Structure 1
Amino acid sequence: MAGAGRYICGLVSALSRIDTTNEYFIFLKRRDQKRFSGLGENFHLVTLPNLSRPVRIVWEIAAPRQMVRRYGLDVWHSPHYLLPAGLDDVHSVVTFHDLTFFLMPHLYSGTKRRFFQAAIRHAAARADTIVAVSDTTRADARAVFPDLSPEKLVRVYSGTNGTFKPVTNPAALARLKTALQTGSKFVLFVGTLEKRKNLGVLLSAFHRLVHNGHPDARLVVVGKPENGLRQTLEAIRSLGLADRVVLPGYLPDADLPVLYSAASLFAYPSQYEGFGFPVVEAMACGTPVLTSNTSALREISGRSAMQVPPDDEAGWAARMHRVLSDEAFRSSLVDYGLERARRFSWQQTAEQMVEVYSRFRHRRTAIRVTEGQAENPFIARTPEKLSPLGAAILRTLVYSDIFDFPLTEDEVHASLIGATSTREAVRQMLRAQEMRPFVESSEGYFFLRGRGHLVEKRKERARASARLLA
């Protein structure tokens, strides 16, 4: 799970354990419900349809105003940068995880960079409170937005949960090493394979390590492929490390504690992080950690003996050699890391977030749902004479009509509410006789009967977005 997902799941779970007073409404996709099972009675899951990316972005920007009114919310917390417009009746909180879109813009495509820069600028200007996940992120936000009030920026560290602890079961450790073919000694990296993770330096340093007394060592690189994958594969090939580097791809969180525990060393040479979940998780599992001496990694690791300049290949090779060769040094890193990791728990995060939320509880009295799961406000009743697929298409168009947003054929298929179907079946149903009393189309867009003016409205929004991103 990526960092944003870790943050949301960890925070919500901890809030459920410590706060039985406030009411919480969690807006999420239906497929993510299983991640939030077992929450307290004061937590209500409001499920959303499986939206296509364009429709989801519209929802994130426009729909929350309706949710505020429907549920009488006092506080709206956006946990990942995007703050909806028009939240004037509630206290708005947004979490900034890092400022890479401003500090390292060259790592992103032009469209993605411009979108997130605009979204973060909007959040910085309109949010009542900005939660920074580290002092580093807080300082970076002040540097990027010098007019931000210090009182508006609150540092609340992210955390880790109790599943990350040393695994000492010999059979479990042996099974993992056999399954991944790691050998008895391996260096571990966990994280998305992005350019800023700096895997080229790690691979070059590992190459030196292999030729400096550790010919049996392996490097295990775990994570979802991103924009650094091609460079990583090229480096492995050019350095002749194909038989020494293991690339298992993404592994589920349940496998990580035993993976960290089995590693001889965890190495994380990232050029920039706003927090650094893998560093905390590895320390909590009793694995000796080396990381960069930059950004929040210096802050979170907290000890210079664990830190190496991110671009110092020779320094990384020498420090890894010492960890693998000097048992006293290795043990000191393990003991320090276990103690250091205790400073970052989701319970502490949740306690501080409750304080943030509670500052503004007096502004409105919430209309709370106290029994059962909150009703999904988007699943409209449909005429009984429609087929299941026709009813699903109509529900999808009713939902999109909330935002004055007609859909293309592909968007209807991708966002289908309450059913799954092939693209061809959706295409035929959109034009079927049974849909004609309810659905019209124009210029490739589909919408509820009598709502054809929305086509031009959507086109104008697209032109406005293009001007914003130009």
Structure 2
Amino acid sequence: TAGNETYIKNLIEALAAIDAENEYVLFFTRPEVAKSWRGRFRNFHVCLVRPHARYVRILFSLPWTVWRTGVDLLHVQYVAPPICPRPIVATIHDLSFEHLPQMYTPRERWLFKLAIGYTARRAARILTVSEYSARDILATYRVPPERVVVTPEGVSALFVPVRDPACLQAVRHRYGIAREYILSVGSLQPRKNLVRLIRAYINLRRRDDDLDHQLVIVGKKGWLYQDIFRAARQSPFAQDIIFTGYVPEEDLPALYSGATVFVYPSLFEGFGLPVLEAMACGVPVITSYSSSLPEVVGEAAILVNPYDERAIEAALQRAVWDAELRRELSERGLRRAQQFSWKRTAELTLRAYEEVVRSLAKSERTASPRAMSVSR
């Protein structure tokens, strides 16, 4: 998913900034992506793993490539090969398939339970991005607590408040935004709770004749997104509900900064990176009081019940009309966002790598690490 790609991209760049000693091998399945990373960092090497087909790659070609390259450990997200010649470090962001099974097909649920459960029990270290997810993993898989390491996500230096009126106007024009707007960012899928957000927005427009903000929804299609488009299309305010599709990262700071309020009523998150990006850009945030999200925002956001459309509507109305509240949330959000960095994520991740390699060296009576691999 886009969130997983953002995580691994920022982690690799942050590791390159803090670690010039160890050697890394980056595994890619697409030649054009591999080419974009080749030669970027002196101690990072690129290796193409074929075929792209997931199950063939995980079962056969990835283990073979791990053995052939001679790395000391393999870092994956969620799913590791069932047979792997080296120790596994696995990042498991969340267990949404356990808590929201209705949002996955029976086949997907079965595969996730089997593959992720096996990976969690096999991994030398499990990295996860929040204390909430760590507790969830421990309760679900009964793994030893010392094997689970919390490595919170960070926010890129790109995400800062944009004040330049020309820049803000250019982004508005690019995405067809004509007036003040309420913003939401995330892939179009049921877990993001966009149907309830759209209904809350519609009800607010119906009840409040003075409010004419547009609702801007940023994100590419995920899965089961038809109900989201249907809810917007059948609304009397359909012309004011804008779906931008995928937005390049360089446009996001201006989109965040230009919004009156950012709303993220997700039903379940392992972390919730868009709320951190929004806070870093100084926009007031409304988000859910469920899963990891209160842990990320602290006291810097309005928290709502994501299943209660009326609560979402009331929070939107309050944020839109209370300028003092928006100012206070903006200041709190900026301070809160400063507590997160990809450098810290990389430091904690590197520490986990080194612990695994030291344990391996001790058991094999060998020397220090040769290389570590990050699979994309």
TM-score by length of 1: 0.74
CA deviation after TM superposition for structure 1 residue 243, in Å: 1.3
Distance 2:49 2:326 in 1: 48
Q: Which residue of 2 aligns with 1:110?
A: 106
1:398 aligns to what? none
Q: Distance in 1 between matches of 2:311 and 2:39?
A: 47
Aligned 8 A contact 1:164 1:285 in 2: yes
What is the match of residue 48 of structure 1?
49
Aligned to 2:267, the other structure's residue is in SS state coil
Query: In structure 2, how many angstroms separate the alpha carbons of the residues matched to 1:261 and 1:58?
Result: 43
Change (3 A) 1:20 1:356: same
SS at match of 1:286: coil
Alignment of 1:21-170 (within 5 A): 21-28=21-28, 29-33=30-34, 35-36=36-37, 39-49=40-50, 51-53=51-53, 56-78=54-76, 80-88=77-85, 90-145=86-141, 147-170=142-165
Greater C-alpha radius of gyration: 1
Distance 1:156-1:52 versus aligned 2 partners, 3 A rule: closer
Quick one: distance in 2 between partners of 1:144 and 1:35? 38
Contact 1:269 1:310 in 2 (8 A): yes
Alignment partners' CA distance in 1, 2:36 and 2:99:
33
Give the drift of 1:248: 1.6
- 1:185 corresponds to which residue? 180
Contact 1:133 1:158 in 2 (8 A): yes
Map of 1:175 onto structure 2:
170
RMSD: 2.0
Verify the 8 A CA contact 1:193 1:224 in the aligned structure 2.
Answer: yes
Cα shift at 1:128: 1.0
The offset of 1:34, in angstroms, is 5.2
- Measure the CA separation in 2 of the matches of 1:357 and 1:226: 32
Which residue of structure 1 lines up, in the alignment, with residue 5 of structure 2? 5
Q: 2:278 & 2:320 partners in 1: Cα distance?
A: 16
Q: Which residue of 1 aligns with 2:304?
A: 308
Deviation at 1:351, TM superposition (A): 0.6
- The correspondence of residues 387-426 of structure 1 with structure 2, limited to 5 A, is none
- CA 1:367–1:317 in structure 2 vs 1: closer, same or farther (change >3 Å)? closer
Match of 2:260? 264
Q: Does 1:18 align with 2:26?
A: no
Q: Cα deviations across residues 99-151 of structure 1 (Å, max 9, x unaligned)? A: 01211111011222221221111101211111111111111112222x21111
Aligned amino acid, residue 288 of structure 1: P
CA distance in structure 2 between the partners assigned to 1:64 and 1:176 by the alignment: 41
CA distance in 2, matches of 1:179, 1:367: 48
> Runs of 4 or more off by more than 4 Å in structure 1?
364-369
Amino acid at match of 1:220: V
Q: Which runs of 5+ in 2 are unaligned?
A: none
Number of aligned positions between the proteins: 364
Letter of the structure 1 residue corresponding to residue 37 of structure 2: F
Q: What is the aligned partner in structure 2 of residue 323 from structure 1? A: 319
Asked if structure 2 preserves the Cα contact closer than 8 Å seen for 1:183 and 1:217, the reply is no
Cα pair 1:30 1:48 within 8 Å, conserved: no
Q: How does 1:187-226 map to 2 (within 5 A)?
A: 187-211=182-206, 212-226=208-222
Q: Aligned equivalents of 2:133 and 2:59: distance in 1?
A: 24
Q: Which residue identity lines up with residue 82 of structure 2 in the other structure? A: A
Amino acid paired to 1:226: G
Contact in 1 for aligned 2:72/2:370 (Cα 8 Å): no
Q: Which segment is superposed worse, 299-308 or 314-323? A: 299-308
CA gap of 1:326–1:129, structure 2 versus 1, over 3 A, is same
Q: Is the 8 A contact 1:9 1:36 kept in 2?
A: no
Residue ranges of structure 1 left out of the alignment (5+ in a row): 375-470
Query: Whole-Å Cα distance in 1 between the matches of residues 5 and 293 of structure 2?
Result: 20
Per-residue CA deviation, residues 152-187 of structure 1 (Å, 9 max, x unaligned), is 111111112111111111111011112223223100
Give the secondary-structure state (helix, strand or coil) at the position aligned to 1:307: strand
- 1:193 maps to amino acid: L
- Secondary structure of 1:158's counterpart equals coil
TM-score by length of 2: 0.91
Contact 1:71–1:368 (8 Å) recurs in 2: no
Number of the residue aligned with 1:236: 232
> Do the aligned residues in 2 keep the contact of 1:13 with 1:39 (CA within 8 Å)?
no
Indicate conservation of the 8 Å contact 1:138/1:153, yes or no: yes
